[in-house]
């Protein structure tokens, strides 16, 4: 099973890539976390935020393999605690579902293009910088998996 993170932004600094890779490395072979970086839209004064979000969301969706369960990270999405996320990850594994998690750019995602999204997930009620989301997401996926197998990484 594969958890594919599809995120706007390329050439992230080391403070983003190093911790992400560390959590990626810790995941078992049967639950791989992959990252597809997608270039952001060039910004200029003639473009509206809606146009930028639309183009970036379209780019993200082009990298989602057919049949993958689609999850959009969205500040207005549903928050989960660690146990709930662990149950979701276990369910995906049992069903053999590959999952794609969409991470928008600084302006977010175009909701009008997300009709095929299984659910919208909010990592936090706080607004997080989109590079930091990659680290938090990788850590939470690792934590959820470790809880599901009784690994001592997660403490109750």
DSSP β-ladder status, 32-38 and 99-103: unpaired
- Assign residue 114 the CATH number of its domain: 3.40.1280.10
Count structural domains, the chain.
Answer: 1
The predicted-structure confidence for 87-104, as pLDDT tens digits, reads as follows 999 999 999 989 999 999
Residue 84 lies in a domain: yes
What count of other Cβ atoms lies within 10 Å of the Cβ of residue 81?
7
Is the residue at 154 inside a domain? no
Q: Which residues contact 115 (CB under 8 A, 6 or more apart)?
A: none
Quick one: tokens of 37? Answer: 């970086």
pLDDT at position 154: 58
**140 domain residue, yes or no:** yes
Q: What distance lies between CA 47 and its chain's CA centroid?
A: 26
C-alpha to C-alpha distance for 20 and 121, rounded to whole angstroms = 19
Return the half-sphere exposure (C-beta side, CA atoms, 13 A cut-off) of residue 107.
17
Q: Residue 98 belongs to what domain range?
A: 2-148
Average pLDDT, the chain: 93
The token pair at 46 is 């003639």
153 assigned to some structural domain:
no
Alpha carbon 133 to its chain centroid, in Å, reads 8
The pLDDT score that the predictor gives to residue 29 is: 93
pLDDT over 90 at 45, yes or no: no
Residue among 108, 93, 109 at smallest CA distance from 30? 93
Cα–Cα distance between 40 and 8 in angstroms, integer?
A: 6
Task: Look at the pTM and tell me if it is higher than 0.85.
Answer: yes
Residues 6, 136, 51: CA angle, nearest 5 degrees: 40
Q: Beta strand pairing status for 119-121 and 2-8?
A: unpaired
Is 21 within the bounds of a domain? yes
Q: Give Cα separations from 2 to 55, 86, 128 (angstroms).
A: 26, 15, 25
Enter the DSSP assignment of 150.
T
């Amino acid at each position: 099973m594969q958890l594919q993170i599809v995120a706007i932004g390329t050439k992230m600094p080391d403070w983003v890539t190093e911790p992400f890779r560390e959590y990626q490395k810790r995941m078992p072979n049967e639950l791989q976390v992959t990252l597809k970086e997608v270039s952001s839209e060039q910004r200029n004064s003639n473009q509206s935020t809606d146009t930028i979000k639309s183009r970036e969301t379209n780019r993200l969706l082009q990298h989602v393999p057919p049949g993958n369960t689609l999850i959009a990270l969205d500040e207005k999405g549903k928050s989960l605690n660690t146990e709930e996320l662990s149950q979701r990850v276990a369910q995906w594994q049992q069903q053999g579902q590959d999952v794609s998690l969409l991470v928008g750019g600084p302006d977010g995602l175009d909701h009008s293009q997300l009709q095929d999204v299984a659910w919208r997930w909010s990592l936090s009620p706080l607004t997080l910088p989109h590079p930091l989301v990659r680290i938090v997401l990788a850590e939470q996926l690792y934590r959820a998996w470790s809880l599901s197998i009784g690994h001592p990484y997660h403490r109750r």
